[in-house]
Every structure is written in structure tokens, then in C-alpha cells.
């Protein structure tokens, strides 16, 4: 009982599909391509145990990846647009939401930039408090990253151990700032609160214990032959390619380039502390997964040094005038080393209480460009280990 | 504080009494809004032969420019003359304004002549009053240890349309992807957020916005968010 | 005679009738038993939508250990799941995918809206790309407020959901 369509109403869908698409505005994966019977296209994500909040359009030939097209933007919340409607102080809580478990570090360049715009000099003790908070946050971030890396590789112990141990440092941050993950602790002019009374002792004790714990991870994870066979010589990024693609952070240092913003362009008091920047030559997924762990051991060192050198008393904030604003048209670009790499903040001020334009140059977005190159020629089973070794946090990349 | 950029060499004051440059310590009142904003936008309209050696404020005391940063900007100015304009010289930051015809050549020189090798961030800034959209490249270097602290801020401007049709109107710039490979995703983001089409970019698809986005590019100033 | 009546065509009818009789007789205790089985094996879908997934991960950690309460870690396929925890902001790009995931899950299924963004849009109430809450696309059972909610809050939300399931009318015999 097929009903005849009137002749003037044609089903248009097939016609539209057969037209040559203007490839500029088509979403990834929907552009018509020449079909090869050997090539299969897989959509990995956004609902997939190995993808996170993004989609990877992977083309495979048998078991080998031919091409990969990342499709981020599932958490694009318009932070930069919203920042133009809020003043410099009320921007603080929502600018840390892209990486809530690294919230001090993502606020750091913004706060440094606003301080430069306003011409504020921060008290010495506040600088040390900031460094301690930033390093604790780096550890908290890397522990979560490591836990998810364990999940991606099917290593459940490596999910349970880091998520349990990072609670130690979360407790410290909670003691210091009052919040578990979203601290909003850094403000232009210092930090919000002084340290609680016996913080130094508790911090030293917990950091020492934490260091002892994470040293044990080598036995269960980094020396594990299964992990080594899955990650070594997988997704190799050569030194030249790393420079060309402009990757940052642990991805860059795993490819043999010694670049750490804390060391190269020290901010606050990092020039008074002894920082190792860990460099490995291999450039494979194993090196990329090991460097954050070594960074954590280094962070414990930095925290101990900072606790020792910190002035025992003094003010931790400069009182600001209400509704601070920049003086005339000015631009500032500040960068810090976050848990994922160099994180920059570009602020254009036009003398109003709100920024004229605010841009977060986030390391996840910069590292994402390497993914298609690393996955080409890899086996599909190695995709999660390469993908998460890029130290990539999709919420931050999308902003 | 270890790299070579820290030598506080005194610069001859008559060499360059600053178009716009100021170190961090300078009083910002000396630079009112009205004269600094045109400096950023200048290169399109008139290539400004008087932009570099102009003595704007004779009463201003000669500020001490960071020497290393000054040498970088001098190299660029020496090569391109009045095609480029030094926007500012601060500690570790050098700002260069360039018109959209010359941005490709300047970027090529920055890579080959000055050893900068990657782009950290590409930002668009919308200036509706001046009918222009600025695209700002923050360029850094991994290979040259003396440039590790430095960021070169290369700024260029595209024409702004009142009713944009992204990709098909006059808001276009030459891409820098063939020079700095790392701008690939950044330029895709600028295209969808500002409607600036990068000619020569092989992959101008949408990146972050939803597939059915049919509104203005959202980071333009005339796109207002609800309730504000 | 009975043998003649039961053919493959009529078997379903008879089984249905039998089901009715059984439900009349022991429906109430059976429904209770089925619900009891459901509340201790809630499987969440592995879909992260925004930053609240950090606290969802922390809720599975040894310190909070959400498995004590019968919420299994989000590892499995969505075809076996019966709980979807919407972890934060839903953008316009994610919303159709979220609905697609929900539609693919088998009945019965429950929804927890975690975080202020999933409830009302939260901090992103005026963003151009964020939905003001997920009420428009999913039927929410439990709202868990917070930005982000602490793991304890999420656990309490899960327990509230279990209380709700206990009181639901189970469709006993299918």
C-alpha cells in the first residue's frame, strides 16, 4: 500500500546528500568522502570508556589506524565570552572551572596578568603560599590523570591507588582554602586567606608520606611488563616534530626538549627554589606517562623547600580597591607551568572593570594537535594509551 | 633569571624614545587610551613612515628599554622598514604590528632569521569601532636558549564585516600554517569564533561549536549573550 | 485437550494469563524482591559531560567507595547500564548525544543530575552554548546540588535514588 508522492514534492534528502558538500562548514565525520572498502570509520566517544569528553573519528584498515580526526568541543562553555561580561574579581570562580582539579594553576596566569595590569606588588609570604598551593595542585591533577590512565589501560589498581592517595593532598588544600577542588584561592594581590595555624607541620608530614607512597607506584605500574609492552615505542614523537607541532609540558619534555616555564621564565618565587626539569629522550607513550610521575616527586621537593624558606609571618594579600580596573588600553600575556604544560593568559584591557578580551592559551588544546600524527600507523588497541599520555583534559581544551 | 636576556644594558635614549613601549615599572598614566589604541591599528590605513623614530612626547623622560628585546625588534625593523611597527617593548615581550599583506613575510623572517619556532596562542580581538578584527600570534622558541623567556607578539588585522558570512566575505587573512605548523587548530578556532577565514589553510572546518550553529561567530562584540 | 490448545501461537497468551494470575497472587512480594535486586546493582553509564566527572571519579576512590552502596564503577557498556549520572554542564553539542545514550539504555533506567550546571545551568547560566539544566531532555529522578558536589553528596543522592526505587511500582512479570 505505497502511497504515491505528489510529483511536485520530491524527497530531497538523497539529493542533498549527493551534492558536493562545501567542506568548510560541515562537521567532522559528516563530509562525504570517497569510500574504500578496506577503510572503516569508527566513532570513539563521547560515550566510550577510552575517550573522555570528546570524540575521535578514527579510520582503520584492519587493526591499524590510517587517520584520526579529533572532534573536541563537547564541553565548550564560552568561558572567554563570559569573561568579557564579568569584572576582574568575579571572573575568578568561573575561570578555574575548566580544570577544577588543577584550579590554582589555571588561575595563576590570570592573576599574574591582572596584577601586572593594576601594578600591584605581592607580599613575599603570599608568593610562597601560592607556590605551595600550585605545587600541591599539580600533584592532585597528576594523580587524577594517572588514575584515568590506569583505567584506560585496564589497570584497576592504578585507579584505586592514586585516587586514594590524592585525598591526602586534597585534605591539605581543604585545610588551606576550605574547598575540596574549586579553591578560588588566588586573587589579584595575593591569596584569599593566610595558612591555618599548624599548616606547615601537617603539610610536611603529609607530603613526606605522599612521596613515600608514590615511590611505590614504580613497582606496580612503571616497572610492570604489561604497561611497558603497551606503551614503549608507541606513538613516538620525535624532537623535530615536537618543536614543529608546538606541544608543551610533559609531552615536550618526553621528546628531549628541556623547557619548563618555572625554570625558563620564573614567576613569583620559583627562581629562589631548586627545580629539576625532567627530560627524557624517547618520546614514546612510556616516557610521556613517566614524566608526570617524576614531576610529582620533584613537586614534593619544591614544597619542602618552599615551606623552609617561607617567611613565618606577614601579610598575604594587598587590599584592592573595590572593582579594580586597568589604566587605559593595555595588553598582557603571562604564562605558568601547569600540570599539563605551559598555560598562558592573554588579557586585553581597555580601562573598564571588565576585560575587553581574555584568552586562555591552554596546554591541552596545544597538545591536541599532536594526536593525529601520533595515532597514524598505530594499532587501534594502543589508541587509549597514546591518547591519554598526551596529558589531555578535554574540558580545558574546549574552555 | 638565568638567560641572556637579563643584561640591563643602557640603551641610547635618542635611538628610540618609544612609540608605545614601556617597561613594567613605567607609570601607565603616561600612555592615555586615545594615543595607544590607534598605534595598534595603524598599519592598514597608512604605513606610517613616522611611526618608529617619532618623538611623541618630548617631555617624557627617556625610559630604559630592555636591551635584548630591543635588539629583536631592531632586527625586524631593519629588515622590513616601515612595513612593520613596534607596538611595545616590555620585559620579555616584543609586540610587532604588521599589515595583512606583509604578515606572511614577516612571520617567515621571524622563523628563519630570529629562530622562533612555535606559536603558543592565537587570539582574536574584535574592534567594532575601527571595523577591524585583530589576530594576535604569540610566538615562542624552544630551540634557542636565549629566546626561552621571550614571547614575540605578532599582531595583524583583518577587515570586519557588519553582516558576516563566515568564509565568503572580506574578513580574510593569509594563513601561517605553512610557516608555523602549530597554528593549525588555533586558526580553525579563530575562524569559527570570529569568522576570520584563513586563506590557504587546508582544513577550515568547525572545531568547538555545535554542528548546527547558525548565529554570528560568538566572540564578536556584536554577539551578545542572553540576559546581559 | 490442553495439548491441543497450546500451540506456539497461543503459548504467549497462556503465559501472559499465567503471569496475570501469578501477579495477583504474589505480585506484591515479588515486586519488592525485584526492586530489592535493582537497587544493589545500579550500573552507571560511562559518560562524562563536564568537570563534575572528577568528583564522580573521587566517589569511586577507596576513601569514599561508592561500591559499598551498590553503585558499580562506570566501566561497562551502556547496553547493560540502568543509571545515568549527568556529570555537570550539558552543552548544545553534547545534548543530542546525551539523549541518544539515554535512548539506547534498556528499561528500567534512572537519571541523576549531578552539579549545579546539570540542574539549572549553574555558573554558566548566561553562556551561549550551555543548556539551562537537563530537564528538557531527560526525566531526572534525583538532583544532587553542588559545584561540584562532594562525593558524600553524590553518595547521598544515590541512596535517595535507591529509596525511590524501593517505593516504585515494579513491573513484575514481563
What pLDDT is stored for residue A35 in this prediction? 59
On whether any CB of chain B is under 8 Å from the CB of A270, the answer is no
Return d(Cα B118, Cα C152) in angstroms, integer. 45
Q: What is the pLDDT of residues A312-340, one digit of tens each?
A: 888 888 888 888 877 778 888 998 988 88
Q: What is the pLDDT of residues A133-155, one digit of tens each?
A: 999 999 999 999 999 888 888 88
What pLDDT is stored for residue A27 in this prediction? 52
* A234 φ, ψ (degrees, to nearest 5): -110, 130
When pLDDT is averaged across residues A281-290 and rounded to a whole number, the result is: 88
What pLDDT is stored for residue A33 in this prediction? 56
B52-60: long-range contacts, CB 8 A cutoff, minimum separation 24:
B52/B16, B52/B19, B52/B77, B52/B82, B52/B85, B52/B86, B53/B16, B54/B19, B55/B17, B56/B17, B56/B18, B56/B19, B57/B17, B57/B30, B60/B17, B60/B18, B60/B30
What pLDDT is stored for residue C1 in this prediction? 65
**HSE of B195 in the Cβ direction (CA atoms, 13 Å)?**
26
Q: Look at residue A19 and tell me if it is in a domain.
A: no
Chain C nearest C-alpha distance from A272 (Å): 33
Q: Look at residue A372 and tell me if it is in a domain.
A: no
Q: How are beta strands B197-199 and B172-174 bridged, if at all?
A: parallel
Q: Look at residue A115 and tell me if it is in a domain.
A: yes
DSSP, residue by residue, A171-201: HHHHHHHS-SS----EETTEESSPPPTTHHH
Chain A nearest C-alpha distance from B75 (Å): 22
Q: Which residue has the cell 511500582?
A: C169
Residues of C with CB below 8 A from B223's CB?
Answer: 128
Contact C147 A151 (CB under 8 A): no
Q: What is the pLDDT of residues C72-124, one digit of tens each?
A: 777 667 888 888 888 888 888 888 888 888 888 887 888 999 888 888 888 88
Residue ranges for chain B with pLDDT beneath 50: 1-58
Report the CATH number at residue A256: 1.10.645.10
Contact A78 B218 (CB under 8 A): yes
Closest in B93, B138, B204 to A361, CB measured: B138
Domain count, chain A: 1
Q: What confidence tier does A209 reach under pLDDT thresholds 50, 70, 90?
A: very high
- B18-51+62-199: which CATH number, 1.10.240.10, 3.30.460.80, 3.40.710.10, 3.40.190.10? 3.30.460.80
What pLDDT is stored for residue C2 in this prediction? 67
Short-list B206, B167, B210, CA closest to B188: B206
Contact A144 C54 (CB under 8 A): yes
Contact B225 C128 (CB under 8 A): yes
For chain A, how many residues are written? 399
C-alpha cell at B110: 621571524
Contact A266 B1 (CB under 8 A): yes
Domain that holds residue A218: 79-363
Instruction: Say if residue A232's pLDDT is above 60.
Output: yes
C-alpha cell at A284: 614514546
- Find out whether B143 and B117 touch, Cβ atoms under 8 Å: yes
Instruction: Say if residue A169's pLDDT is above 60.
Output: yes
Return d(Cα B181, Cα B137) in angstroms, integer. 13
Residue A352's closest chain B neighbor by CA?
B33
Q: What is the pLDDT of residues B130-179, one digit of tens each?
A: 888 889 999 988 888 888 888 888 889 888 888 877 777 888 888 888 88
- Find out whether B141 and B115 touch, Cβ atoms under 8 Å: yes
The strand pairing partners of A337, in sequence order, are A342
* B119 φ, ψ (degrees, to nearest 5): -105, 125
C-alpha cell at A80: 572567554
Query: Is C53-167 a domain of CATH 3.40.50.2300?
Result: no
Amino acid at each position: 500500500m505505497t502511497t504515491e508522492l505528489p510529483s511536485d514534492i520530491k524527497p530531497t534528502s538523497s539529493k542533498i546528500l549527493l551534492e558536493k558538500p562545501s567542506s568548510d562548514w560541515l562537521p567532522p565525520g559528516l563530509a562525504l568522502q570517497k569510500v574504500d572498502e578496506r577503510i572503516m570509520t569508527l566513532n570513539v566517544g563521547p560515550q566510550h570508556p577510552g575517550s573522555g569528553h570528546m570524540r575521535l573519528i578514527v579510520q582503520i584498515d584492519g587493526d591499524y589506524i590510517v587517520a584520526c580526526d579529533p572532534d573536541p568541543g563537547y564541553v565548550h562553555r564560552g568561558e572567554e565570552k563570559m569573561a568579557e561580561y564579568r569584572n576582574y574579581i568575579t571572573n575568578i570562580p568561573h575561570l578555574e572551572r575548566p580544570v577544577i582539579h588543577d584550579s590554582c594553576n589555571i588561575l595563576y596566569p590570570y592573576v599574574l596578568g591582572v596584577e601586572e595590569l593594576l601594578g600591584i606588588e605581592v607580599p613575599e609570604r603570599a608568593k610562597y603560599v601560592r607556590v605551595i598551593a600550585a605545587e600541591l595542585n599539580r600533584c592532585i591533577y597528576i594523580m587524577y590523570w594517572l588514575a584515568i590512565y590506569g583505567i584506560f589501560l585496564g589497570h584497576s589498581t592504578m585507579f584505586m591507588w592514586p585516587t586514594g592517595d590524592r585525598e591526602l593532598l586534597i585534605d591539605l588544600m581543604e585545610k588551606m582554602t576550605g574547598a575540596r577542588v574549586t579553591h578560588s584561592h588566588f586573587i589579584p594581590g595575593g591569596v584569599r586567606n593566610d595558612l591555618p595555624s599548624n599548616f606547615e607541620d601537617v603539610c610536611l608530614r603529609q607530603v613526606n608520606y605522599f612521596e613515600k607512597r608514590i615511590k611505590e607506584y614504580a613497582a606496580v605500574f612503571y616497572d610492570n611488563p604489561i604497561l611497558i609492552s603497551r606503551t614503549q615505542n608507541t606513538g613516538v614523537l620525535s624532537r623535530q616534530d615536537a618543536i614543529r607541532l608546538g606541544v608543551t609540558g610533559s609531552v615536550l619534555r618526553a621528546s628531549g626538549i628541556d623547557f619548563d616555564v618555572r625554570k625558563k621564565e620564573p614567576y613569583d618565587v620559583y627562581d629562589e627554589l631548586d627545580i629539576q626539569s625532567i627530560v627524557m629522550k624517547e618520546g614514546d607513550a612510556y616516557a610521556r606517562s613517566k614524566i608526570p610521575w617524576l614531576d610529582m616527586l620533584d613537586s614534593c621537593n619544591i614544597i619542602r623547600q618552599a615551606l623552609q624558606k617561607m617567611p613565618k609571618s606577614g601579610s598575604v594579600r594587598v587590599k584592592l580597591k573595590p572593582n579594580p580596573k586597568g589604566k587605559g588600553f593595555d595588553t598582557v600575556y603571562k604564562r605558568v607551568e601547569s600540570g599539563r604544560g605551559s598555560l598562558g593568559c592573554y588579557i586585553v584591557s581597555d580601562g573598564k572593570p571588565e576585560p575587553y578580551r581574555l584568552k586562555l592559551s591552554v596546554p591541552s588544546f596545544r597538545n591536541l594537535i599532536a594526536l593525529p600524527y601520533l595515532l597514524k600507523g598505530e594499532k587501534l588497541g594502543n589508541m587509549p594509551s597514546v591518547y591519554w599520555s598526551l596529558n589531555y583534559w578535554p574540558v580545558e581544551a574546549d574552555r | 633569571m638565568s638567560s641572556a636576556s637579563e643584561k640591563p644594558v643602557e640603551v641610547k635614549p635618542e635611538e628610540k624614545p618609544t612609540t608605545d613601549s614601556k617597561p613594567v615599572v613605567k607609570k601607565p598614566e603616561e600612555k592615555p587610551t586615545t594615543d595607544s589604541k590607534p598605534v595598534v591599528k595603524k598599519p592598514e590605513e597608512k604605513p606610517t613612515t613616522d611611526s618608529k623614530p617619532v618623538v611623541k612626547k618630548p617631555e617624557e623622560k627617556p625610559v630604559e628599554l630592555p636591551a635584548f628585546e630591543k635588539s629583536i625588534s631592531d632586527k625586524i625593523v631593519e629588515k622590513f622598514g616601515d612595513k612593520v611597527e613596534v607596538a611595545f617593548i616590555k620585559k620579555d615581550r616584543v609586540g610587532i604590528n604588521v599589515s595583512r599583506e606583509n604578515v606572511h613575510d614577516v612571520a617567515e623572517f621571524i622563523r628563519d632569521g630570529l629562530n622562533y619556532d612555535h606559536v603558543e596562542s592565537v587570539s582574536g580581538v574584535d574592534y567594532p569601532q575601527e571595523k577591524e578584527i585583530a589576530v594576535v600570534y604569540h610566538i615562542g622558541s624552544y630551540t634557542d636558549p636565549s629566546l626561552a623567556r621571550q614571547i614575540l607578539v605578532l599582531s595583524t588585522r583583518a577587515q570586519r564585516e557588519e553582516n558576516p558570512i563566515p568564509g565568503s566575505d572580506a574578513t580574510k587573512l593569509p594563513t601561517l600554517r605553512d610557516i608555523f605548523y602549530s597554528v593549525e587548530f588555533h586558526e580553525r578556532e579563530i575562524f569559527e569564533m570570529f569568522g576570520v577565514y584563513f586563506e590557504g589553510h587546508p582544513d577550515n572546518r568547525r572545531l568547538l561549536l555545535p554542528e548546527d550553529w547558525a548565529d554570528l561567530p560568538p566572540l564578536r562584540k556584536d554577539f551578545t549573550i542572553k540576559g546581559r | 485437550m490442553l495439548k491441543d490448545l497450546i500451540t506456539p501461537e497461543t503459548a504467549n497468551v497462556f503465559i501472559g494469563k499465567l503471569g496475570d494470575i501469578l501477579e495477583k497472587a504474589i505480585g506484591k512480594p515479588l515486586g519488592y524482591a525485584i526492586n530489592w535486586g535493582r537497587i544493589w546493582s545500579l550500573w552507571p553509564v560511562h559518560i562524562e559531560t563536564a568537570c563534575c566527572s572528577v568528583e564522580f571519579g573521587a566517589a569511586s576512590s577507596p576513601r569514599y567507595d561508592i561500591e559499598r552502596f551498590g553503585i558499580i564503577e562506570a566501566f561497562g557498556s551502556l547496553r547493560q547500564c540502568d543509571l545515568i549520572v549527568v556529570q555537570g554542564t550539558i552543552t548544545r553539542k553534547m545534548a543530542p548525544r546525551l539523549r541518544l545514550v539515554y535512548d539506547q539504555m534498556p528499561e528500567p533506567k534512572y537519571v541523576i543530575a549531578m552539579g549545579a550546571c546539570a540542574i539549572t545551568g549553574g555558573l554558566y547560566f548566561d553562556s551561549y552554548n550551555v543548556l539551562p539544566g537537563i530537564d528538557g531532555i531527560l526525566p531526572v529522578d534525583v538532583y544532587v546540588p553542588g559545584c561540584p558536589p562532594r562525593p558524600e553528596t553524590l553518595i547521598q543522592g544515590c541512596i535517595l535514588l535507591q529509596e525511590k526505587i524501593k517505593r516504585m511500582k515494579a513491573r513484575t512479570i514481563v
